[in-house]
Chain A
Amino acid sequence: MFGNLTLESFQHDMMQDMAVYGGLSTGLLVLLLITYFKKWPYLWKEWITTVDHKKIGVMYIAVVLIMFLKGVADALMMRMQQAVSVGDSQGMLSATHFQEVFSAHGTTMIFFVAMGFMFGIMNLIIPLQIGARDVAFPFLNALSFWLFTAGAMLTLLSLAIGHFSVSGWLAYAPLSGLEYSPNEGVDYWIWMVQISGVGTTLSGVNFLVTILKMRCPGMTLMKMPIFVWSALCSMVLVIMAFPILTATLLMLTVDRYLGMHFFTAGGGGNPMMYVNLIWAWGHPEVYILIMPAFGIFSEVVPTFSEKRLFGYVSMVWALIVITILSFIVWLHHFFTMGASANVNAFFGVMTILIAVPTGVKIFNWLFTKFRGRVHFTSPMLWFFSFVLNFTIGGMTGVLLSAPPVDYQVHNSLFLIAHFHGMVITGVLFGFFAGFTYWFPKFTGFFLDEKLNRHAFWCWTIGYLLAFMPLYMLGFMGATRRLDHYEASTGWHPLFVMAAIGAFIIVAGATIQFIGLFWSIYNRKKNMDPTKSLFSNSSGLNLKTGSMGDPWNGRSLEWATHSPPPIYNFAIIPTVDQTDPLWAYKRGQLKLFQGGYEDIHLPINTPVAMYIGLASLVFGFAMTWQIHWLAIISFIAILFLTIYRLSCKNEHETISAAEVAKIEKSYSQGNAA
């Protein structure tokens, strides 16, 4: 009846139980509060059923915040374990639990924090930057979000029911095969990654078509903002890389469920094939994450330097070269597998080559600041920390790309320090900068600048304290994923230092959480002064009424209200250059031509959420091999899809008169 699910699956050690009960009670409290304040109709109407890209973006970030808490807690547990589990002391985690923790940390951070944050920001900003009213396929967008959420919820479920995978965030075969990982952990991992991965693929298609087809008149490819370019390159990578992940997971699935022999040790299987395939996806995945962060910095730096981006064309080509190179370097993740020296040399050289376009970008940002009017706002602070630490991280990457060096430090903490330099100071700091930068755009008020600065210093100092020791430890021979080591190694002080760094990072993250809620609570005080006023008296088109342009921005997302109305732009803008708003504010460009027209928008639907829910049930049922439930939920997914495709009228119309009314209410400053 319940497959492999038994009562024992609900029993854990005390620490995990505490986390589960804590999470459950918090969740219950939130549900109770929503019920008490009678907010269910509001939530349902405005959020759960929405197909509006701006709201979907906010929901992405809300889910990311929850997953981020979990990921950070995992990281803290690892750092604490390694700080105390030396010599006679065994620390507080069992070896198995430690393995679960590091597997969960990587999976959560990459799939549900970094990817979610990226899609959140892209949802919020891309349609605005290209002067569009929505993404190409609004329903598909909502579906992607709910599939992502289903994957995230499955991760949380694994905390309460059963165990997580113990085979690392990439589940290397044959360890992840049935023979060595017989319990449900790897199945959880497979389904959470597979379900959210399908959502990611759909998002990739969606944003690619959005960028290619929905740019406003005059915005040729070489006049797009660099963030849009970076998203375009990133989405091309999504479309090319995620199918490999889907296929690889499919093969791992049939290995485990049907007794096949793709990656098993016996039966003629080839585990090395798994490692090749997973990195043929995994390496582009890293660039999928980092390129939008590059794009964000390319928006932040010109705005806060009051200067056009230096070397626009070289920036675009650097992105394209990175896109191409990212597909021919995957083998550098396993030089030690023992491919021939020539193969290793090829992949080593290709890897070193990536430093060239990346260097081009770094210099372009620096030259953008040169002789600019640099404002030391918190997005810029993130940028400064990024430039310094990302360059150090990149240099260590170049070291690692030389096969002989790699043989020495492969799978050591040196590697861990390197890639955390990439994903923390590169990806995460980039998203923090973008989040702070665009926050007034989608809310109408600022994040608390003072708290942001505190958070920034905590993160930067914490990062250096937590990861510089890991470089040293790597050279001293400490491998990754150690739950215990001997005192004679002399590693203990450095591990303690790293743990202190982790605590400082957690302090930074806490300040950010507090800052977020404090800013929302205090929003009247932090209101964007340009939210509903004319920000600039010279050359403003009266037709657009108010503007939300607090940073003296350059691109189109600042050419509409904050938060933008449901239709984004009352009049679709027309552009003729890369910095249209900048030119518009100087009277060099007529951004809005013509009058109001009827606007057609897709109507809300709960079907996307239902499909997400059915996918969650399907993933859970497959994990525990509850066959009847899997079949029912699969049929439900099919039925819901067919139902959606048979609906006729998916659009509503906002008449020109209504648009005029909404715009007028904005200019009077009393809109929501």
Chain B
Amino acid sequence: MTDPFLVHHTADPTADTSLPDPHQDTFSKTVLGFWCYLMTDCLLFATLFITYAVLHNNTFGGPSSKELFDLSTAFLETMILLASSVTCGFALIAAVKGNNRNILFWLAITFLLGLSFIILEIDEFRHFVSEGHSWTTSAFLSAFFTLVGTHGLHVTFGLLWMGVMFAQVYWQGVTIDTFRRLVLFSLFWHFLDLIWIFIFTFVYLLGVI
């Protein structure tokens, strides 16, 4: 089949007759729209970050970040998520080459990495709660659980999305639509990675100082 990546980047958008409207390039519109969505999400996280910054000393008799955080788990989570970004990139390269089997393979690897990230995070949360430090303990812990948990929820949605993409690539192969969605997914996944870097730096690293 033709290379969908090239199709969307040729000077003449009418070269691909399957585009719904040659006047209107769905690919670039959707990618721009998705970028805008990512910026809204970025601002949502910014709000949670700011709130965390304001509240992180309000421990109300509960543990402080210094007493609570274990950097080794967070570091492991960071490495896993970074690795998953790499494998997600491999999936996209496979998509550009139109190699269905490789897409599925790398998506599966990315999925497993994402899943292990979530499992680690849930385990960390469970550990905190079992020691009696739940989100109801203090404003600091409320902000912590909400910020990190919102990121975790995003990753969970990413896993769901990957499941759908897996099925779509399996049954439909690389089409204009599935290719576009893979590109959007990879933007989403890298974005989550970026947010996690901020969480790792501002919440965990600065938290233990």
Which A residues fall within an 8 A CB radius of B?
A: 133, 136-137, 140, 201, 204-206, 208-209, 212-214, 239-240, 242-244, 246-248, 250-251, 254-255, 258-262, 264, 266-270, 273, 277, 572, 599-600, 602, 638, 642, 645-646, 648, 650-651
Tell me the interface secondary structure of chain A in the complex. Answer: helix
In the complex, what residues of A have CB within 8 A of residue B181's CB?
Answer: 645
- A261 touching B41 in the complex, CB below 8 Å, given contacts A214-B24, A244-B47, A268-B55: no
Could you say which of A140, A213, A239, A648 contacts B40, with CB atoms under 8 Å apart? A239
Enumerate chain B interface residues (CB-CB to A < 8 A): 20-21, 23-25, 28-30, 32-33, 36-37, 39-44, 46-48, 51, 54-55, 58-60, 135-140, 142-143, 145-146, 150, 160, 164, 168, 172, 177, 181
| Beyond A268-B59, A268-B60, 16 extra complex contacts between A and B, CB < 8 Å | A133-B23, A137-B33, A204-B36, A208-B33, A239-B39, A240-B43, A243-B47, A247-B47, A250-B150, A254-B142, A260-B142, A261-B138, A267-B139, A645-B164, A646-B164, A646-B168
Q: Which residue of B lies closest to A236 (CB)?
A: B36
Whether the pair A277, B160 counts as a contact (CB closer than 8 A) is: no
Collect the chain A residues with CB atoms within 8 Å of residue B46's CB: 243
B165 nearest CB neighbor, chain A only? A645
B139 touches A262 (CB 8 A): yes
Chain A neighbourhood of B36, CB < 8 A = 204-205, 208-209, 239
Known: A261-B136, A262-B143. A267 touches B33 (CB 8 A): no
**Are B40 and A250 closer than 8 Å at their CB atoms?**
no
Question: Would you give the shortest CB distance from A203 to chain B, in whole angstroms?
Answer: 11
A277 to B143, CA, bound (A): 14
25 contacts between A and B (CB under 8 A): A201-B40, A204-B40, A208-B33, A213-B25, A213-B29, A239-B43, A240-B39, A243-B40, A243-B41, A244-B43, A246-B44, A247-B48, A258-B136, A259-B135, A260-B145, A262-B51, A262-B143, A267-B60, A268-B55, A268-B60, A273-B51, A273-B54, A648-B177, A651-B20, A651-B21
Q: How far is the CB of A639 from chain B (nearest CB, A)?
A: 11
**With A and B bound together, what is the CA distance between A137 and B106 in angstroms?**
30
- A269: chain B residues at CB < 8 Å are 55, 58, 139, 142
A277 — nearest CB in chain B belongs to which residue?
B47
Q: Report how far A650 CA is from B43 CA in the complex, Å.
A: 32
With both chains docked as a complex, state the minimum distance between the C-beta of A195 and any C-beta of chain B, in angstroms.
16
- B62 to chain A minimum Cβ distance, whole angstroms, is 8
Chain A min CB distance to B128 (Å): 14
Q: Measured between alpha carbons, how far is A223 from B20 in the docked complex, in Å?
A: 28
- Closest residue of chain B to A649 (Cβ to Cβ) is B20
What B residues does A242 contact at CB under 8 A? 40
Closest residue of chain B to A266, judged by CB? B60
**How far apart are the CA atoms of A493 and B50 in the complex, in Å?**
48
A247 touches B44 (CB 8 A): yes
Closest Cβ–Cβ distance, residue A144 to chain B (whole Å): 13
Name B55's contact: one of A239, A248, A273 (CB within 8 Å).
Answer: A273
Measured between beta carbons, the chain B residues less than 8 angstroms from A267 are: 60, 136-139, 142
Given A208-B36, A209-B36, A270-B177 contact (CB < 8 Å)? no
Q: Kindly list chain B residues whose C-beta atoms are within 8 Å of the C-beta of A201.
A: 40
Shortest CB-to-CB span from B176 to chain A, Å, is 10
Asked if A251 contacts B146 (CB within 8 A), the reply is: yes
Q: Which residues of A contact B20 (CB under 8 A)?
A: 600, 602, 650-651
Q: Cβ of A260 and Cβ of B51 under 8 Å apart?
A: no
Query: Contact at A262–B142, with CB atoms within 8 Å?
Result: yes
A205 touches B138 (CB 8 A): no
**Shortest beta-carbon distance, B29 to chain A, in Å?**
5
Asked if A270 meets B48 with Cβ closer than 8 Å, knowing A214-B24, A254-B146, the reply is no
Specify which chain A residues have a CB less than 8 angstroms from the CB of B32 in the assembled complex.
Answer: 209, 212-213
Nearest-CB residue, chain A, relative to B39: A239
Alpha-carbon distance A602/B24, docked complex (angstroms):
12
How distant is the Cα of A208 from the Cα of B25 in the complex, in angstroms?
15
Report the separation of the CA atoms of residues A264 and B136 in the bound assembly, to the nearest whole angstrom.
11
Q: Which 4 A/B pairs are nearest by Cβ-Cβ distance?
A: A268-B58, A268-B60, A268-B139, A260-B142
